[in-house]
Amino acid sequence: MTRKKLSGFDVVLVGFGWTGAIYAEKLTAAGLEVLALERGPWRDTSKDFATTFAQDELRYYWRHGMFQETAQSTLTFRNNGAETALPMRHWGSFLPGNGVGGSGVHWNGQTYRFLPSDFVVRSHNEERYGPLPDGMTVQDYGVTYDELEPHFDYFEKICGICGKAGNLNGQTSPGGNPFEGARSSEYPNPPMQMTFSQDRFEASARDLGLNPFPVPSANMSRAYVNPLGLQLAPCTYCGFCEKYGCGNYSKSSPQTTILPVLMERPNFTLRTESEVLSIEKSPDGSRVTGVTYVDTSGDSFFQPAEMVVMCAYPLENTRLMLLSQIGTPYNPQTGKGVVGKNYCYQVMSGATVFFEDEFTNGFVGAGALGMAVDDYNGDNFDHSGLGFIGGGYIACYTTNARPIESHPVPDGVPEWGSAWKQSIAANFLKTATVGVHGASMAHRSNYLDLDPTYTDRHNRPLLRMTYDFTQNDRRLTNHLTPVAEDIARGMGGREVKVSERTGAYDSVPYQTTHNTGGTIMGTDPQTSVCNRFCQSWDMPNLFVAGAGLFPQNAGYNPTATVGALAYWSVDAIINQYLPDPGPLVQP
Amino acid sequence: MSYSTRRGVLKTLLFGGTALATPSALWAVEYGRGEGMPWAPMRGDPPYYGTTDARFFTPDERAAVAAISARLIPSDDDGPGATEADVVTFLDRQMAGFYGRGQHWYMKGPFAEGTDTQGYQSEYPPAELYRHALAELDAYCRAQDDESFAGLSEGRQDEILTGLDEEKITFDAVSAKVFFDLILKNTIEGYFADPIYGGNRDMVAWRYVGFPGTRYDYRDFVNHGGAPIQLEPVSLMGRPGWSRP
């Protein structure tokens, strides 16, 4: 394997999804020469997911058409340190993306802001409830909601998010989420049009004294032009969002909201099919000098850069840091070290309503078409005596009725044979789901490191995930799932089936692609990888993007917070770092 | 601010005049540099995996797979089963392609049994797993009943499949339960996938459950208010009525 040295760039971005596009757009606008290196191929609407073939359930979901292939790279998994981790030979519980746009191509578009208290989980909860239990390694982000607000606002305008404000500049705004942090402006677009299931959910939630609001959606409720001049089309409610590209330019993605402008800029370069193998350091270890990557020829290249931003998926960012020996790896025995620390996920549960006469017609759907309540999220309710912190939203979405994936049957129906088949035919168009989207609080024993046995196609160690649900998770889900059941029972169906979250975390059934932590941000280099500007504590010219920064995961989908953190960080690079390159926070 | 002005400042600031060679032979595809969104004719990526008439199963294997899928999704008075949907053709094509070969899967060893939460750990990709399992199933049926699986009564077939599902019947070379779970999953895929892949023939499964297929615009139906929506299904290759006289 040869290693050729290439001419340098001001900035190299590792990975080119949502955060790569955000950093690239802002840094090229500031005049820098930017190169993005993407492991996967170029992808765009007309070529890769046109309306004539985008709705292919087998190809895109079940055969993983746009996801990372585990043959390229996967991770190993075990529930606890006493087990031997084994490779995820094909994906199950989550689906990392691949190619230009990353997971931003095939997300649902549920675009919630985290609550103000989600950014100060340790200090807020300790102040209100006293010391947190041993082993719960939750931390403050080091950045507050108020500091991020302008960046949430901008990301929503780039995306054209559809919703209804509940708190406009501190004033309660009817119809929105009364628990949200203060917003500086109304959503750029009105909420999506709701269907039968949301109407029933809303009525039932109101009867219970809860506060339903329309889910903030990146599926367009009307035509929209964003601040970069790019146009989005009204959503057609086709029911193929998550796991699929939108053929209709109706879902915010890097391709629809940023790339057409970025690709016109002479100081932006994108190389696809270029997989970064390691981040390179100067001999004294004080800064990064660039990256080494391999292309499809098998040749490897040294790409010099004055600054590197890690924009890959959180799991890959953590692995690259460990492989590159940047930062101290986390040690679960001592609790010392930081890289790989605080891996978190999401605690999902729910209740399905089966209707007798009414049709829910789930195929008329969209990824973020839903109504939600936040009464049991974050610290919106009193946790005294409950034995857990955090919460989750409870929502009724109508995302799809894709038939390989969606065949809910009532309790007691066998899993195959005539009775199963007939039950599917009877219930296929007559169900609605009330889901709990539970937070995941960090625990000392849940972490990421390098696997001692299994390697990828370049013979580099795979990432190893050691993860199980914690006592906090179990108490949280036990408290919230009955609320979802109560709402479901008020929706007028024939029967309700409850899907509790019990037992060990299972890597097999799909739950959600919300993997967080591993490269967490914080206030202290002893306990975090990055400072509050998402800058590596160890290497001032290395920045990290994505949900790997989250010290723990909130009861929401991560994308809005990922976007806001990227805009916050790139703003600090342009206005503070470039005039005076060095650490933006003194340890 | 123009790009060049700012760029000039930063070049001095950051690079300090470092001069380096330009890449001579990049195999990666390079985009950008002011050239806009790339587009070229004949570069579309329409579906093709599993759409051709490839075969993997031997005639005996095919008969056994057809019989198994027909019990997993039976034909009855209520509606079509795997037989009417031609699921066996779907499975044959899938096993002959990248999926059957496990081409996109991580198949490096060492192989170990693992826990229930660790997922598929067989050393065999799907097609080979089918082949080994079908051979052992055939041996089991011949030893117990002196007959191939396909030749047994439906009741006896159900008994044996239940035995695989509940791990009362086990195989040597592969896990009978892993095989059962996989063929059940693949049968459901074939029953409900778009007809371009060989199963769900004439969209019988979609018609049966009321799925309108690969339509792309339901805006007129968002306000359905709980009423049924009557729409003939459409496939990625259109609808039979479109191409018949």
Q: What is the ipTM of this complex?
A: 0.96
Contact status, residue A392 vs residue A435, Cβ threshold 8 Å: no
Examine residue B141 and state whether it is found in any structural domain, yes or no: yes
Give the closest-approach CA distance of A423 to chain B in angstroms: 10
What is the Cβ-side half-sphere exposure of residue A536, based on CA atoms within 13 angstroms?
Answer: 26
Examine residue B233 and state whether it is found in any structural domain, yes or no: no
Contact status, residue A404 vs residue A62, Cβ threshold 8 Å: yes
Given a cut of 60, whether residue B245 has pLDDT beyond it is: no
* Range of the structural domain that residue A166 is part of: 3-45+61-68+99-172+191-577
Radius of gyration of chain B (CA): 26
- Residues A141 and A186: their CA atoms lie apart, in Å, by 26
* Range of the structural domain that residue B173 is part of: 59-209
Given a cut of 70, whether residue B243 has pLDDT beyond it is: no
Examine residue A152 and state whether it is found in any structural domain, yes or no: yes
Examine residue A79 and state whether it is found in any structural domain, yes or no: no
Q: In the numeric block, which tokens belong to residue A64?
A: 């993983």
Give the closest-approach CA distance of A130 to chain B in angstroms: 35
Examine residue B238 and state whether it is found in any structural domain, yes or no: no
Examine residue B34 and state whether it is found in any structural domain, yes or no: no
Does A88 contact chain B (CB < 8 Å)?
yes
Give the closest-approach CA distance of B31 to chain A in angstroms: 5
- Residues A113 and A111: their CA atoms lie apart, in Å, by 7
- Is A514 one of the catalytic residues? yes
Give the closest-approach CA distance of A470 to chain B in angstroms: 16
Examine residue A586 and state whether it is found in any structural domain, yes or no: no
> So what's the pLDDT on residue B199?
97
Examine residue B91 and state whether it is found in any structural domain, yes or no: yes
* Coil/strand/helix, residue A341: strand
Among the ranges given (A206-215, B37-46, B162-171, B190-199), the one the predictor scored with the smallest mean pLDDT:
B37-46
What is the Cβ-side half-sphere exposure of residue A203, based on CA atoms within 13 angstroms?
Answer: 10
Examine residue B175 and state whether it is found in any structural domain, yes or no: yes
Examine residue B178 and state whether it is found in any structural domain, yes or no: yes
Residue with tokens 């036990």: A478
Contact status, residue A169 vs residue A200, Cβ threshold 8 Å: no
Given a cut of 50, whether residue A64 has pLDDT beyond it is: yes
The pLDDT of B233-238, averaged and rounded, is: 92
- Residues A83 and A234: their CA atoms lie apart, in Å, by 49
Q: Which residues between 174 and 203 in chain A have a beta carbon less than 8 angstroms from any beta carbon of chain B?
A: 193, 195-196
- Residues A216 and A214: their CA atoms lie apart, in Å, by 6
With bands split at pLDDT 50, 70 and 90, how would you rate the model's confidence at B9? very low
From B128, B214, B140, B217, select the one nearest B178 (Cα to Cα). Answer: B128
Q: In the numeric block, which tokens belong to residue A309?
A: 């931003």
Q: Which residues between 210 and 249 in chain A have a beta carbon less than 8 angstroms from any beta carbon of chain B?
A: 234, 236-239, 247-248
Q: What are phi and psi of B158, to 5 degrees?
A: -65, -40
Does B226 contact chain A (CB < 8 Å)?
yes
For chain B, how many structural domains are there in total?
1
Residues of chain A neighbouring B205 (CB-CB closer than 8 A): 403
Helices (H), A192-313: 196-207, 254-257, 259-262
Does B59 contact chain A (CB < 8 Å)?
no
Secondary structure of chain B: what % helix, strand, coil (to 5)?
A: 45, 5, 50
Contact status, residue A215 vs residue A244, Cβ threshold 8 Å: no
- Residues A279 and A529: their CA atoms lie apart, in Å, by 15
* Coil/strand/helix, residue A127: helix
For chain A, how many structural domains are there in total?
1
With bands split at pLDDT 50, 70 and 90, how would you rate the model's confidence at B47? confident
Enumerate the β-bridge partners of residue A100.
Answer: none
Examine residue A302 and state whether it is found in any structural domain, yes or no: yes
| From B26, B50, B226, residue closest to A359, measured CB to CB | B226
Enumerate the β-bridge partners of residue A302.
Answer: A5, A292
Work out the number of other CB atoms within 10 angstroms of the CB of residue A164: 16
Given a cut of 60, whether residue B6 has pLDDT beyond it is: no
> So what's the pLDDT on residue B242?
65
Examine residue B81 and state whether it is found in any structural domain, yes or no: yes
Examine residue A430 and state whether it is found in any structural domain, yes or no: yes
User: Tens digit of pLDDT for each residue in A486-505?
Assistant: 999 999 999 999 999 999 99
Exposure of A170 by Cβ count < 10 A (0-12 exposed, 13-18 middle, 19+ buried)? Answer: exposed
- What's the mean per-residue pLDDT of chain A? 97
> So what's the pLDDT on residue B4?
35
Chains A and B: how many Cβ contacts under 8 Å? 294
The reply to whether residue B226 touches residue A74, judged by beta carbons under 8 angstroms, is no
Percentage of chain A modeled with pLDDT above 90: 97
Does A302 contact chain B (CB < 8 Å)?
no
Examine residue A298 and state whether it is found in any structural domain, yes or no: yes
Q: In the numeric block, which tokens belong to residue A288?
A: 């990064």
Which of the two residues, B242 and A433, has the higher pLDDT score? A433
Examine residue A549 and state whether it is found in any structural domain, yes or no: yes
From A109, A99, A62, A95, select the one nearest B45 (Cα to Cα). Answer: A99
- Residues A402 and A503: their CA atoms lie apart, in Å, by 28
CATH of the domain at A163: 3.50.50.60
Examine residue A358 and state whether it is found in any structural domain, yes or no: yes
The reply to whether residue A273 touches residue B15, judged by beta carbons under 8 angstroms, is no
